[in-house]
Chain A
Amino acid sequence: MGQIRFLLNGDMVVLDDPNPTDTLLDWLRDQGLTGTKEGCNEGDCGACTVSVGALCGGRISHRALNACIVFLPYLHGKSVRTIEGVSARDGRLHPVQAAMVEHHGSQCGFCTPGFVMSLYCAHLEGAQGFDDVLAGNLCRCTGYAPIMRAAEAATKQPQPDWVGDENADLQAMAAGDDITLEGAFLPASLDSFAQWYVENPDATIIAGATDLGLWVTKLMRDLLPSVFLHRLTELQQIEITPKGLRIGAGVTLTQLRDVITDHYADFGEMLRRYAAVQVRNSATIGGNIANGSPIGDSPPALIALGAMLTLRRGDERREILLEDFYISYGKQDRSAGEFIESLFIPAQPDVLACYKISKRFDQDISALNGCFNVTVKDGRVTAARIAFGGMSAMPQRATAVENALVNQPWNAATITMACTAFAQDYTPIADVRGTAAYRLRSAQNLLRRYFHESTNPLSQTRTVGRGAS
């Protein structure tokens, strides 16, 4: 029998052998805490947003998460705050709640607790840029304008006196041994996980659960046995050396974005549009890579940067280029018991451009996603790494396009020639996000855009985000 413990609105909760794939949302609502709402049950609407606090370098970071795809074991050692725990016990409203009332930020009210929780986390963390803070919260009534007014107003207010410090409680829970629940393993160290996974190679590895969560809530699967990686701080490190960046597989997209922006600005911009805050706060880079989705947002950028993966099985490690990791749809070069430990991005000048095309700018899955890393010396292309998502069954380099560029003058004629090579590299499919013809046409146009941007200000080509006027 195993046990997990976490803080819920300041009070310690101990659960004996919970079903490992029960979601936080269902559990909260079963406890009578019905303020947290189910809007979509797949992490796309934010109605179930809660704040999850975790120790991070000696302080607590408060992250908004979608409770509908948070499995209970993930909470071990953390602090959960729900809408019921935001105002003072005597009923005084938190500044974000008061601002939402004052600025008429709620109409039907169903999405409101989620918005309040996203803003609550932003208020604690001092985050601004509310288009991004709230990109994961859908509202169908207000048109968002009053909510944004509330967000701006609340940000000026100080922390209320009743927001307590839970540092000591989390410190007390931080250490500990491996935990074994019925059907799930929560290793406390990387070595322990590596060994266990060799012995249990059929287990489901659960990191952020932003995709696997849907296997439970939508596909009605149970994922057992499973192993939860969130306690492995060894996997959550980012090392910056002159040779490059080494990124642990357990680094969240939020952490990666914070660091990568300084090195590869456009990669950072793409991660700004990677799902939304709640997903980025739990999704890991290792999960995004291992998942092998043809439309994952990070792999094309990483392939374009020539990233290497370190795979580990027991105590053995090997390194491969990320592009070689993908073999075909749903198939990767990963043997039984092997897992992604880290990836390495070699240092290089930042000429990377990342373009994400989706039906909606924020919180959407790419129709296609093109990343260009072309080196030009004295007007001639000396090297090209171009990779796309959404154009084939897996993230893939545009080899024919690259070949059409390398050793050619960097000019419009070369680009026109290279555009014809896309059809050799890719035979995209039609789906809800776009037709095959659209994918091919706009992929070619991304190369034209990259060329244009190499000699013109980004404001001429960008309508959102980095460089947009």
Chain B
Amino acid sequence: MSIAKPNPHDSAVAHVSGVARYVDDIPLAGAVHLAFGLSTVAHARLAAVNLDAVRASDGVIDVLLAADLPGANDVSPSVHDEPMLAVNTVHFVGQPIFLVIAKSHRAARLAAQLGQIEYDVRPAVLSIDQALAADSKFEEPLQFLNGTPEAALAGAERQVQGVMEIGGQEHFYLEGQAAAALPNEGDVLVHASTQHPTEIQHKVAEALGLPMHSVRVETRRMGGGFGGKESQGNALAVACGVVAMRLNRPAKMRYDRDDDMIITGKRHDFRIKYQAGFDRTGRLQSVIFEQFARCGWAQDLSLPVADRAMLHADNAYHLPNVRITSHRLKTNTVSNTAFRGFGGPQGILGIERVMDHIAHDLGLDPLKVRRANFYGAGRDVTPYHMVVEDNVIPEIVDALERTSDYVARRAEIAKFNAQSPILKRGIALTPVKFGIAFTLTHLNQAGALVHVYSDGSIHLNHGGTEMGQGLFTKVAQVAAEVFGVGFGAVKITATDTGKVPNTSATAASSGTDLNGMACKVACEVIRARLIDFACDTWGVLPDQVRFKDGQVHLGDTSMPFAKLVNAAYLARVQLSATGFYKTPKIEWDRMAGKGRPFLYFSYGAAVSEVIIDTLSGENRILRTDILHDVGRSLNPALDLGQIEGAYVQGAGWLTTEELIWDDDGKLWTHAPSTYKIPTCSDRPKIFNVNLWARGENREDTIYKSKAVGEPPFNLGISVFMALSDAVASCGEAYPDLDAPATSERVLRSVDMEKGITW
């Protein structure tokens, strides 16, 4: 068995030895280096662009403006509204205006600061309020409706309402955006740190006016992606492609960290307004959500992000009468983009806030209210009219409540708080139900290419990209499983648009579901040929041929896999195959808000206990218990790694990670000195993470596993709710925390509880 084993990451030894190669590590003799000159204002017409000082700067070879580009000036992944270099107008602080080509990275960066730009400044729409006032939006508000929410709200025994501001999040992949391009006889090879090589290929081809077959994109690995390399690397790759072809020299580009944080999109910040009506047990009778997404200046992936926020406004709860309205606001800020969860976390945070608020209103344990609202028999239709067929949240929550000792600890915390004047604790259990599939149905396809060489070694390629999640390892385990060989027999190779074409981004947690299946199909094609060959040659029946432990068993005899393969080769059996997979069952009408956008749901739950300091608002996580459903795990070690990492990332989003813009639209938090992702001491002191042993995907996914990339990110919400619980212990009012719950916000809420405002 190769699956279900905790194999280390296929590159682990290379990682710890420093030999794992990332784009900027690729030696490129004679390469030129690129940097963008950026807009310093949020909205303006370019009155005059004087680049004399840029050109005169040491080491500069050339400087390009939009007019110098040979083909399409567009790096948008969606609606062609994102020029790589600004044309006439700039739309946010940090928009690239010109491209410096220089002999070194530093020379390019230095020169890029020397542009003299005269701006004819226009009014800028920066905030959600300004966008609403200006009616600045990408499309009309979308709506999901089920039942009669207004009437049910009016008729409910009790109501709560509120508004919550939810901050965005910087990806802070440790490897910044990077690309390189090498010209070759009129074609170009691009190395890119991207989750979406096919899109890079597409955009570079358009920019050069070449057919896609003239552009090959290779991606061995990324130093982290998290959604931030789904579309945000397009500009660098296109710039490199254009310059490489223009100068007939290799070109390389990477953003300095500050540039990276200023230029590239982030998780969408949201405002969520809610009104909820419920009975005395806390069960919802109606909920009305209004979601406002600050999308930034270009559309990028904002529409599907905002869609997914709506699709997760229910989380694990049945909303009997519901209206969810979503506003997609256009602002003169960086174009927000994909980030692990893709809008889902904001939607989930909205309903978890409602649960928390209801519990506070009724004076109940929030877990009771959550339970009262879980999907269940006869209560299984989502706001988008999909039936939830695989609900396991009650079982997971029951188990976690027990193993985390939730009830006793909650009582103990109440006791602690009663006698602790300054430090207060809080605890919360939050569930997650996360829909798996791209909501844009056609993206749910994948391809693989498998070669078996005559010595029995296996070359594996597929359309997914490796960003640290262990996709390559899992897919290789699938190949090893089908052929019954050791993991080491499989060579995992860089994602390459020349090997598997027309791929989707590695996104939506779907990497293993899609590419694992495609790989399995390809391997099974080859295995079927080998079985046919064995039956013909040795007179056995197909069901007598088994591949196991590096051996092929033929009835009573066996031979090494390599021997069978070599014999098949000599008999002229084709030992290479492609595999293709498309996700079944899904169909979705986003305008109507109806259909089955997801094949299945991933579930999990977390209990977080926090402590807050009521004199400063400082806070930390004391203990976390997680139980998460990954179906039948393909690799428990990698799955645990995804869950632990996602949880901490989710907790960071809601606590210390604060993006701050000034009134002119300049991002103040553009470096790790000012933007604070969790450090090692921020992880929970006690951190118990378990895979749900009974997990199994009811759908026919790769070995019954479930997607794991995004769902556990939402477990970080338990930290936010635990903070709310701790603050609530300081007074009578509902804490009303906005996210992120920085020390300052926590202190302000604590003081509000005490009737002190500042």
Contact = CB atoms under 8 A, between A and B. Distances in A.
Nearest to B756: A441
Given A84-B18, A461-B422, A148 B668 contact: no
Nearest to A442: B616
Interface in B577-636: 611, 613, 615-620
B173 interface: yes
B422 A360 contact: no
Contacts of B743: 357, 359, 367
Q: Interface on chain A toward B: helix, strand, loop, or mixed SS?
A: loop
A220 B110 contact: yes
B617 A442 contact: yes
A37 interface: yes
A143 interface: yes
Nearest to A434: B744
B620 A359 contact: no
A140 B226 contact: yes
Contact of B223 (A32, A37, A146): A37
Given A108-B224, A357-B618, A437 B681 contact: no
A14 interface: no
Size category of the A interface is 35 or more
Contacts of B15: 100, 106, 109, 112-113
Contact of B672 (A131, A138, A146, A445): A138
A448 B751 CA distance: 15
Contacts of B221: 108-109
A34 B25 contact: yes
B680 A131 contact: yes
Interface string A17-39: 00000000010010010111111
A37 to B, nearest CB: 7
B36 to A, nearest CB: 15
Interface size grouping (class) on chain B: 35 or more
A359 B680 contact: no
B110 A108 contact: no
Contacts of A110: 22, 173-175, 223-224, 468
Interface stretch (A41-49, A226-234, A285-293, A376-384): A41-49
A328 interface: no
B174 A37 contact: yes
Interface in B223-268: 223-226, 256-258
A432 B8 contact: no
Given A42-B672, A110-B175, A446-B615, A143 B679 contact: no
Nearest to A23: B106
Interface string A125-146: 0000011101101111111111
Given A37-B175, A434-B744, A220 B113 contact: yes
B113 A108 contact: no
A154 B603 CA distance: 35
A463 B611 CA distance: 7
A40 B175 contact: no
B90 interface: no
A442 B743 CA distance: 10
Contacts of B679: 134-135, 138, 144, 276, 360-363
A137 B660 CA distance: 23
Among B21, B467, B644, the one with the most A-chain Cβ atoms within 10 Å of its Cβ is B644
A76 to B, nearest CB: 23
Contacts of A359: 656, 658, 676, 742-743
Contacts of B9: 104, 106-107, 109
Contact of B16 (A112, A131, A438): A112
A51 interface: no
Interface in B32-73: none
Query: Which has the most chain B C-beta neighbours within 10 Å: A42, A432, A460?
Result: A432
B559 interface: no
A107 B672 contact: no
B677 A140 contact: yes
A108 B12 contact: no
Interface string B669-707: 101111011111111000101000000000000000000
Looking at B16, B106, B226, which has the most chain A CB atoms within 10 Å of its CB?
Answer: B16
Interface stretch (B126-134, B393-401, B481-489, B645-653): B645-653
Nearest to B468: A108
B672 A357 contact: no
B27 interface: yes
B676 A364 contact: yes
Contacts of B418: none
B163 interface: no
A339 to B, nearest CB: 27
Given A360-B682, A463-B620, A41 B17 contact: no
A438 B758 CA distance: 8
Contacts of B176: 38-39
A102 interface: yes
15 contacts: A34-B21, A41-B256, A102-B8, A104-B640, A106-B468, A107-B470, A109-B223, A110-B223, A140-B173, A140-B677, A144-B678, A220-B106, A220-B109, A432-B669, A446-B615
Given A109-B221, A220-B109, 16 more contacts: A34-B25, A42-B672, A47-B174, A93-B13, A100-B16, A104-B641, A109-B9, A111-B223, A132-B681, A142-B644, A148-B680, A367-B743, A432-B669, A438-B748, A442-B747, A449-B422
Q: Which 10 A-B pairs have the closest CB atoms?
A: A35-B18, A108-B468, A110-B223, A109-B15, A143-B648, A83-B18, A107-B468, A44-B672, A34-B25, A445-B615
Interface of A: 26, 29, 32, 34-42, 44-45, 47, 82-84, 86-87, 93, 97, 100-102, 104-113, 116, 130-132, 134-135, 137-148, 218, 220, 276, 357, 359-365, 367, 431-435, 437-438, 440-442, 445-446, 448-449, 452, 460-461, 463-464
